[in-house]
Amino acid sequence: MSEKLQKVLARAGHGSRREMEAWIAAGRISIDGEIANLGDRIEADVKIRIDGRTVSIKSEEDLICRVIAYHKPEGEICSRKDPEGRPTVFDRLPKTRDSRWVAVGRLDINTSGLLLFTSDGELANRLMHPSNEVEREYAVRTFGEVNDACIQRLRTGVTLEDGPASFDKVKAAGGEGMNKWWHVTLAEGRNREVRRLWESQEVQVSRLIRIRYGKIELPKSLPRGGWVELTMEQVNYLRKTAGLNEETRTVLGTDKHSVARSKVKGSKIRRAVRKHKAVASKPGRKRI
């Protein structure tokens, strides 16, 4: 059965469906030597090229849906490459075969915390769609006067430049004086929405950390710059949320040696993070 070109390419991890549609419109993709058009449908036996390079297309049955949780540090941008030479969230991710990682949403350069990546672009596309209101939770450190009336306004809603917005929950989480910590949740992913909501009350955000995406929490043992593969149960929670069929396979080891390997996983992650920092700090690498 034929499928839309952008859906097949997204599923194979070449990018999100939106990215693939933009590449088709720009004439970067060809089908059997002919420039592709939006709306083209393809069979499994065609030859696809992106920028003249042949790429793999596999059926849904041939692909294993993988998802990793990444602890994004402040200072990294959510782009594959940066003309200014700044570090990106893709720099430290593991290599994949016949696909590439697609970010599920974005975090701005000054925000840290949980960022999900998947090898299934269709999953990323659906999770990012506004119709899938996945709850996100953030730890926020604010500077400024925050009273009960301010909290009530943030819960009931304020008007931002792109429309009404509000937090679903606002919970105090400690702090002293003008510096306070809060846990806030919302089910939207608008640009800088958490910061803009607080700024609408003349309150400055000095730290912002995403600690949860739906039921997926940022692992407390995961260092900044580290990543961990999600279990099949967690992957299927995300797939169910996105309205996709369950995954029945995983790349995680199930043999008796997996338990032993898991005990040293944390130290391996930390060594990899230290090694990356050492490389990034060498002369010639532009820092922020």
CATH code of 104's domain: 3.30.2350.10
Contact yes or no for 92/227 (Cβ under 8 A): yes
Say which residues have a Cβ less than 8 Å from residue 101's Cβ, sequence separation at least 6. Answer: 13, 68, 90, 93, 117, 118, 119
Q: Are residues 14 and 32 in the same domain?
A: yes
pLDDT tens by residue, 4-45: 998 888 877 787 788 899 999 999 999 999 999 999 999 878
Q: What is the pLDDT of residues 63-80, one digit of tens each?
A: 789 999 999 999 999 988
Q: Do residues 91 and 141 both lie within one domain?
A: no
Q: 225 and 171, same structural domain? A: no
Answer yes or no: is pLDDT of 200 > 50.
Answer: yes
DSSP category for residue 132: S
Q: Which of 86, 3, 75, 16 is nearest to 45 (CA)?
A: 3
19 and 122 part of one domain: no
Query: Quick one: pLDDT band at residue 261, thresholds 50, 70, 90?
Result: very low
Total domains, the chain: 3
| Rounded distance between C-alpha atoms, residue 88 and residue 109, angstroms | 9
pLDDT at 266 over 60: no
**Same domain flag for 78 and 180:** no
In the prediction, which pLDDT does 287 show? 41
User: Which one of 169, 191, 213 terminates a domain?
Assistant: 213
Percent of the chain exceeding pLDDT 90 equals 60
Of 235 and 272, the structure prediction assigns the larger pLDDT to 235
Is 187 a domain residue? yes
Give pLDDT, residue 193: 94
11 with 113, same domain: the answer is no
286 part of a folded domain: no
pLDDT in tens, 137-147: 999 999 999 99
Q: What is the pTM of this model?
A: 0.77
pLDDT at 184 over 60: yes
Shared domain for 163 and 38, answered yes or no, is: no
**H/E run at residue 239:** helix 232-241
Q: Which of 19, 43, 60 is the last residue of a domain?
A: 60
Identify which has the larger pLDDT, 47 or 177: 47
Residue 277 banded pLDDT, cuts 50, 70, 90: low
Higher pLDDT: 194 or 16? It is 194
Instruction: Work out the average pLDDT over 117-122.
Output: 89
Kindly report the average pLDDT of the chain as a whole number.
Answer: 86
Residues 146 and 208 in one domain: yes
Is 91 a member of any domain? Answer: yes
Say how far apart CA 225 and CA 71 lie, in whole Å: 5
Q: Is residue 72 part of a domain?
A: yes
Q: Is the pLDDT of residue 109 over 50?
A: yes
Identify the weakest region by mean pLDDT among 8-17, 202-211, 222-231: 8-17
Asked if the model's pLDDT at residue 264 lies above 90, the reply is no
Structural domain for 51, as ranges: 3-60
255 is catalytic: no
Token pair belonging to 38: 């939006």
The pLDDT score that the predictor gives to residue 265 is 52
Q: What is the CATH number of the domain that holds 41?
A: 3.10.290.10
Given 155, 182, 213, the domain boundary residue is 213
Which residues contact residue 235 at a Cβ distance below 8 angstroms, ignoring those fewer than 6 apart?
Answer: 65, 66, 67, 247, 250
Query: Please, which pLDDT band fits residue 263 given cuts at 50, 70 and 90?
Result: very low
Average pLDDT of span 39-64: 84
Query: Could you write out the DSSP letters of every residue in 70-124?
Result: EEEPTT-BSSS--TT---BTTTTSPP-SS---EESS---TT-EEEEEEES-HHHH
Provide the 10 A C-beta neighbour count for residue 41. Answer: 12
Instruction: Exactly one of 32, 51, 62, 108 is catalytic; name it.
Output: 108
Q: What's the confidence (pLDDT) of residue 182? A: 96
